[in-house]
Chains A and B, each alone.
Chain A
Amino acid sequence: MAFLEIANLRKTFGPLSVVQNFELAVERGEFVSFLGPSGCGKTTTLRMVAGFEGPSSGTIRINGQDVTRLRPNQRNVGMVFQSYALFPNMTVAENVGFGLKVAKRPAAEIGPRVEEMLRLIKLPTLGGRYPYQLSGGQQQRVALARALAIKPQVLLLDEPLSALDAKIRVSLREEIRAVQRSLGITTVYVTHDQEEALSMSDRIVVMSEGRIEQIGTPFEIYNFPRTRFVASFVGTLNILRGRVADAAQGRIAVDDQEIVAARGIADGQAGQIRSVALRPEAVSLADAGGERNRMRGTIEEVNFLGSVVRIRVRFKENAISLDTFNNPSVAPPQRGQPVTVSFAREDLLVLEGAEAG
């Protein structure tokens, strides 16, 4: 049985349904991210796990125990907030030791534990400082130490890095991951930054409008998005809309040019409107020959980005972006120039769900 089990979770605020049919099983020691755009219900879900919001229905189990109705202070769950939320009236050491003090642990235990935590976050000498004397990154590390000091069963982080600048964000996310690995603590991490989710997580839960769109490893999510939403939210996938010609053979017509998806079109019917996805790095301007998909279009835009040249090719309704490496001896193509692009049949992903024409 999974360590953290969320079953059929639902949350409504009045008439507004914010989280629906949320099902997730997190293994012990796993690092799972909730990824999705603003307002999709990530924070609300996390807050239900922490106990700050009561679910409208559904259950949450931690290590086999049903905690759905427990108060936050009885759940033994560590929480890290976007705004750090350190207690301004306490020193760093007092902040880190707060949970132990509340639990009435003896001072002989609190002192060493606080020191251990401060070493873990690489701030062993700053125990006597007050939060306002620390940088944002340091404050967030202290908040992490404070949450971990009580040896929580589950660690929850709600966009802990969004208030920090880009450089610190990258180094701190590596640090958080390293600490998480070394303690082997089950972790749920909320973010709307796909790079953060892809680089840190064991698994990613992609959410949209209160629903789970897809759960998978970063590799799966990036390479095999199942829905149009995931495809467009994660990475810079090209999305093409076409009319199914033959589902079993995977034939689909995009702007009157027929292409083939090697995997076929799952539960498709001829005449349906479906979306297909294509990674920019799979598309080539040259025709490599063989059994490939080919599409004719005109060059709409050429962006010179340095080592990479990003080219957009327009068909009729649809367009494709593709990246080519800069080559000093070959001038980039001109706008308006007709071209043929090609891509392997295996690289064409058919997304779930028929759409209205």
Chain B
Amino acid sequence: MSRVNDFAFKSGTVNGTGSASANSLLMQAIFRMGIPVTGKNIFPSNIQGLPTWYEVRVSRDGYTGRPPAIDLVVALNPSTYAQDIKSVCSGGYVVFDSSWPLDPSLLRDDVTMLGIPLGDLCREAFAGDRDRTLLRNIAYAGALTALLQIDLTVVEQMLTEKYGRKKALLESNYRAIRLGYDYARAHFTCPLPFHCEPMDRTGGAILMDGNTACALGALYAGATVGAWYPITPSTSLMETFKAFCQEYRVDPESGRNRYCILQAEDELASAGMVLGASWMGARAFTCTSGPGVSLMQEFLGYAYYAELPGVFFNVQRTGPATGLPTRTQQADLLSMAYASHGDTKHIILFPADPAECFTLTVAAFDITERFQTPVFVATDIDIGMNDWMIPRLQWDDAFVPDRGKVLDEAALAQVKKFFRYVDTDGDGVTARTLPGVGGKGAYFTRGSGHDQWGNYTEDSAAYQDLMDRIKRKFETAERALPAPVVHRRDGATIGIVMIGSPDAPVREAVDRLAAQGVAVDVMRIRSFPFAPAVREFLDQHRTVFVIEQNRDAQLRALLTVETGFPRDAMIPLIDYAGQPLTAGAIVTAMSAHLQEASV
């Protein structure tokens, strides 16, 4: 089988040395050659000095999941040589820095070792330790450009775009690229059996990470108040939002801002700020990760009961506690779904990739105001921080935001009296007013017992009445939230249920199973509480796998509780190691189970 445009490589480096820019340079160059490509950054919770890896998958078929195997490793971090060399598939290649001798015990006879004296080359060519370290990475990018037949002119063009005005920097980067490129051409057979050839499959696409797409969604949805407390992996979401605001939200006449970003003292405060701003009628949001969600619990319950909007991004990382802050997981499902004490429930949207981060973020701001309740947008490190190949984002200028039932001065003039929690049309959603409105619009927002008139109460019947009405509101919401995406195959009796980022590897796995004659349907749930279609899908399949990235099969637990579908009739396929899933792992686990079941 041809290996053109179908392979993966990985670099193992030390973080803080500038390897990130070398990796994204290569990935972007391949993308510009029209070849589908994805990158997964596996990085430490540290600023400098710890091992970091970057995996790039080149897939002419457009598979964007984690690569099934690594064909080439660039081993530049002596402390991980052993594991990095071990991770190459048989018949693969290892590029290493031959400026220093390699421990012979690390050598493998089923892989080809390509030694390049990167350190020596850079020491001769450049002055200063900093430059030498940084440019060593660019030099290996040059070597890979030759080995993998990446278009050198594209690579150089990208350097020009990046360093355009900084002449000296551009010059040294050019030289570093050439050092590696020329060395590889002079000493090895280029290209390797697996390599790149131009295609035309990325024309309508972009490379974007999910945090950027969420930030753009918030910008386009008209969010004006962002309150946050920095936490990996959500930090870049607010920082990017700020950068976009500086570009698009500065009043041209006064030079003043049409946004306000509040860096709070903690996540309790950021949640409170979001609620205050939403109460006042602004579109407001926060972004955080697991530990922050834990701190926001009291306010989330408050917002559920007092019925306040607010968008809460949760870029999930590996828990519990501090956990593995830079590794991915989907383990906050239960903590989001029922956050806070008492009977509560929260709407959650589950984008599967950065494209959906954009559309579902825009939807989230409508949903939160329409249903007057917090909305989580739940992503994870894989979606949030990795560059994905997605279709260009689209915007329709005819879009009109849904601000929900808000009575302004004119509307208030039409009613005899205004009562905050009276359900006039049976959908469970009651009208609100915004502070500052005149006349009879005033009401009291409280987390203590209140009746439909908005008055304090300790009366059992009035309390239950209100709680039942909120339940009704959520039943309305279930039917209005983004529906699950279902892919069916002829004759399938097996179904997969999943959410979020495993979408890519699941789709690849299902293709592979189909090639083996096993037809599998897939339902990717996009919102909680679940739409009626979710239970229907479960009922329609003899065997149901629930694929998710947490130890305790939280999605399956939610499905059991919320749909009443028997827990043991769903096979959990869990992975909680902190890395994005691979199609191979899914196929293996499913096949093993199906075989066992048929014995």
Query: Is B truly associated with A?
Result: no
Q: Which residues of B contact A (CB under 8 A)?
A: none
Q: Which residues of A contact B (CB under 8 A)?
A: none
